[in-house]
Amino acid sequence: MTKAINLEEYFKLNIPLIDVRTPLEFAQGHVPGAFNLPIFSNEERVQVGTTYKQQSREDAILLGLDLTGPKWSGFIREALKIAPDKRVAVHCWRGGMRSGAMAWVLGLYGFEVYTIAGGYKTYRRWALAQFEKPFNLIVLGGMTGSGKTKILRELRVQADQVIDLEDLAQHQGSAFGTMNRLIQPTQEQFENTFAFELQQLDAAKPIWVEDESLTIGKRTIPGAFWRNMRSARLINLHVSDEHRVNALVEEYGTLDKEFLIDCTERVKKRLGPEQTKHAIEAIRADRMADFIRLLLVYYDKNYHRGLAKRDPAQLFSVERDGDIHATANELKIIAGTLPLQSLF
């Protein structure tokens, strides 16, 4: 059995999704959680497309059948691994021949197959539309080393709604943001996963998000969501400098020295030649606390500059005493999401 459905219907089904586009298309961007079962390799798709343009649709179909003929039994076996109960959704770029062919073969084998009308193109339109919604955001701010990410994680543990932008972007938002291990998704995939997480939240209820620049590494926060962040309430964490230095030494202290030096060189213009020189000397001498203190001069200036551009009526401050759980509760009280009794 095969049936065409729209995207909203698919979200309600809770069944595996098979993306039959090429590995290259899939890597550029896909629906989160989808399985890639490409009908054509990257090179084969180019061949078929060229034949379609230079010869005819019929010739392209015949070439496609020649290329995929030996593959179909393998597709069925892979689909059985993905969906042992034989219930699956399928899509290609526009919901055309590739997904139609896969749906027909799987249906012939006894699968219950749902094809996504409009294919991946429909998902992209839907994803970009999610950022236009008027979300009830609460922005968590604070200077570098304030523990914002840890507090967001604690809020999530407490079942509050949280969007972790740095996790989505796979970058910690500074010159050292890759931590010498993180690989950023494409901009398209960043948006896809971001939108997918947003649709699982209640837009009318508070959603916590960390204060970020427009760009996180090489990824850009969608414009409408960014404007929403800038106009939202911001709760600014105040943490002692010593606590911040200790936290950052713990975080950066184990990183490769050459990585730290390379990243420091990248911000030389903004840090200044003398500060950069002293910072690199501190790295080489294992004086990580001195390195962090030098770096914070630059980051703190930037943070205060950004804070000055916000509406003072939307700014609130909290002194953090180091207890993550207690701080998370205090933040929720300020935000109006917990009753006053929660303090006791």
The residues that are catalytic are: 92
For 31, other C-beta atoms within 10 Å of its C-beta total 23
Of 40, 32, 36, 38, whose CA–CA distance to 10 is shortest?
Answer: 32
Handedness of CA 337, 340, 341, 344 (dihedral sign): positive
Cβ density class 54-83: b for 16+ within 10 Å, e for less = eeeeeebeebbeebbeebbeebbeebeeeb
Instruction: Break the chain down into helix, strand, coil percent, rounded to 5.
Output: 55, 15, 30
Token pair listed for 164: 């972790």
* DSSP-derived 3-state class of residue 191: helix
Computed on alpha carbons and rounded to an integer, the radius of gyration of the chain in Å comes to 25
Strands 137-142 and 17-19: unpaired
